[in-house]
């Protein structure tokens, strides 16, 4: 073996790489278990990505030793279980995770049916509503069981073929890949990619804060390129024979980095700032929207205040936020005069309701003495009044509830069925989500 490692152009390189990769794999497993409660991990069906990681490492190990021993001296029984155990363990969790998201999306996207109108609804709507009424089937545990049911089919087929085919028994070496092997690989690539890209389509409709779309797109491209090359090079019997195994190793390493390494590293380096609570938790969420969905909430809040004839606090909040960000001194002085005239002076059109001491301080302040912090005290007092006097009433309005629940429904997709079941206690009535 030592002589082979020195003489082979690939063995020493990939043998050394396997040792370093094994250390990296173990290190990532430790980080996975240490940070498994992170949003970036637990919302990806963690035990499914763990199963896939084991399959990736098993495939990579098998392919590495196939290079070290040379394909002609590689045991057929290991090659056999590479096909029926390691490949399915790597690939099957992906369509299961994709199916999980597709179901969750449609469960939340379709309206809840009542007992009276359920019988008259089309079959697809009744199908999604059945999952809504039985959230235990949407939990991570349910999808893990489903994953292993599919795995069991592959394992049973592998056991049967291991018994029936004498070439798969111990003591046999170097059997070339059969047509069945390539057909199996093509079937898995097509079936898995279908669910993957359908899930990619649905994820594009929600506010993805966990990098799902990046993961799915990257995995889809990696598979198309490297599984395709693995099949083509093996079928065409391109020499040297190790080239096919090298394509498989690249596939496993790249898949691991994207689907397991990415969430683990995100859990380590990124702060846990992904909020899945109600969009109505804080007034800052509404007044300083971070995306287009939240801007709609801000518009609804302004509409609510306008109907109550108390819009001045909202307008002052916006004006001061712009003032605080202005760096040009001349523009800042102009903005100071406008804010003072519109909100502070005694005959101001939109006079804000804050204490007289702060009003007098601002009225007496000279333009040459102003700074970006000039309105900070008035801003905080106005914000407090909005938060206490107006915001609670807005949160109770029908439009605000409907809007907040729509956002929460989309975020529930990222949280998964465990969150759905816990949040609703088996009942997903939207009135309980705010």
pLDDT of residue 277: 47
DSSP 181-241: HHHHHHHHHHHHHHHHHHHHHHHTTS---S-HHHHHHHHHHHHHHHHHHHHHHHHTT-SST
Task: Specify the domain boundaries for CATH 1.10.167.10 within the chain.
Answer: 283-414
How far apart are alpha carbons 405 and 402 in whole angstroms? 5
pLDDT at 43: 77
Cα–Cα distance list, 413 to 202, 256, 272, 323, 389 (Å): 10, 24, 18, 38, 33
Q: Rounded to whole angstroms, what are the CA distances from 264 to 21, 32, 81?
A: 16, 6, 28
Q: Which CATH architecture has domain 283-414?
A: Orthogonal Bundle (1.10)
CA distance 224 to 229: 8
pLDDT tens over the chain, length 434 residues: 444 555 567 888 898 999 999 999 999 999 999 988 777 887 788 999 999 999 999 999 999 999 988 888 899 999 999 999 999 999 999 999 999 888 888 887 777 787 878 888 888 888 888 888 888 888 889 999 999 999 999 999 999 999 999 988 998 998 888 888 899 889 989 999 999 999 888 877 765 667 888 899 999 999 999 999 999 998 988 888 889 999 999 999 999 999 999 999 988 886 554 444 455 677 888 898 887 778 888 999 998 888 877 888 899 999 999 999 988 888 999 999 999 999 998 888 788 888 888 888 998 888 888 998 999 999 998 888 888 888 887 887 888 877 876 776 665 555 555 555 554 444 433 333 33
How far is residue 93's CA from residue 46's CA, in Å, rounded to a whole number? 10
User: What's the rounded Cα separation, in Å, for the pair 111 and 235?
Assistant: 50
φ/ψ region of 426 (left if φ > 0, alpha if ψ in -120 to 50, else beta) reads: left
Tokens of 25: 């794999």
Judge contact between 21 and 60, C-beta under 8 A: yes
Average pLDDT of the chain to the nearest whole number: 84
Q: Could you please report the per-residue DSSP string of 235-268? A: HTT-SSTHHHHHHHHHHHHHHHIIIIIHHHHHHH
pLDDT value, residue 418: 57
Whole-angstrom distance, CA of residue 237 vs CA of residue 258: 30
Q: Read off the pLDDT of residues 144-173 as tens digits, 9 standing for 90 and up.
A: 999 999 999 999 999 999 999 998 899 899
- Are residues 184 and 386 in contact, defined by beta-carbon separation less than 8 angstroms? no
Write down the residue that tokens 């969150």 correspond to: 419
- Please spell the DSSP secondary structure of 155-176, one letter per residue: HHHHHHHHHH-GGGSTT-B-PP
CATH classification code of 9-269: 1.20.1070
SS3 354: coil
Q: Say what the pLDDT of residue 195 is.
A: 92
Residues 265-288 as b/e (b if ≥16 CB within 10 A, e otherwise) read: ebbeeeeeeeeeebbbeebebbbe
Which residues is 75 bridged to in the sheet? 173
Helix (H) or strand (E) holding 331: helix 329-339
**Residue 268 to residue 271: CA distance in whole angstroms:** 8
């Amino acid at each position: 073996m030592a002589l082979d490692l020195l003489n082979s152009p690939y063995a020493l390189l990939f043998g050394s790489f396997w040792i370093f990769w094994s250390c990296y794999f173990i290190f990532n497993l430790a980080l996975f278990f240490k940070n498994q409660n992170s949003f970036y991990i637990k919302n990806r069906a963690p035990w499914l990505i763990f199963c896939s990681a084991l399959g990736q490492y098993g495939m990579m190990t098998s392919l590495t030793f196939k290079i070290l021993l040379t394909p002609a001296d590689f045991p057929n029984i290991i090659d056999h279980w590479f096909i029926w155990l390691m490949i399915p363990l790597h690939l099957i969790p992906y369509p299961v995770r994709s199916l999980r998201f597709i179901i969750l999306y449609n469960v939340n996207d379709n309206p809840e049916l009542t007992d009276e109108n359920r019988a008259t609804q089309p079959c697809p709507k009744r199908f999604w509503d059945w999952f809504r009424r039985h959230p235990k089937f949407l939990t991570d545990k349910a999808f893990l069981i489903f994953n292993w049911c599919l795995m069991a089919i592959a394992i049973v087929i592998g056991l049967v073929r291991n018994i029936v085919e004498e070439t798969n028994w111990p003591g046999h070496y170097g059997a070339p890949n059969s047509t069945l092997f390539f057909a199996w690989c093509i079937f898995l690539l097509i079936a898995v990619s279908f669910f993957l890209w359908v899930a990619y389509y649905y994820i594009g409709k929600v506010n993805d804060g966990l990098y799902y779309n990046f993961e799915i797109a990257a995995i889809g491209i990696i598979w198309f390129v490297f599984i395709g090359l693995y099949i083509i090079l093996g079928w065409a019997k391109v020499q040297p024979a190790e080239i096919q195994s090298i394509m498989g190793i690249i596939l496993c390493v790249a898949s691991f980095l994207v689907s397991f390494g990415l969430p683990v590293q995100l859990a380590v380096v990124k702060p846990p700032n992904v909020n899945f609570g109600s969009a109505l938790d804080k007034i800052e969420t509404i007044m300083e929207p971070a995306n287009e969905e939240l801007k709609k909430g801000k518009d609804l809040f302004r509409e609510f205040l306008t109907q109550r004839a108390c819009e001045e606090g909202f307008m002052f909040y916006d004006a001061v936020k712009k003032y605080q960000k202005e760096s040009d001194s001349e523009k800042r002085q102009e903005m100071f005069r406008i804010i003072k005239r519109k909100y502070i002076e005694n005959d101001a059109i939109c006079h804000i309701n804050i204490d007289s001491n702060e009003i007098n301080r601002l009225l007496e302040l000279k333009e040459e003495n102003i700074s970006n912090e000039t309105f900070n005290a008035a801003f905080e007092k106005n914000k407090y009044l909005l938060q206490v006097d107006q915001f609670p009433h807005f949160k109770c309005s029908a439009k605000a509830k409907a809007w907040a629940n729509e956002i929460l429904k989309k975020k529930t997709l990222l949280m998964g069925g465990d969150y759905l079941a816990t949040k609703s206690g088996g009942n997903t009535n939207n009135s309980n989500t705010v």
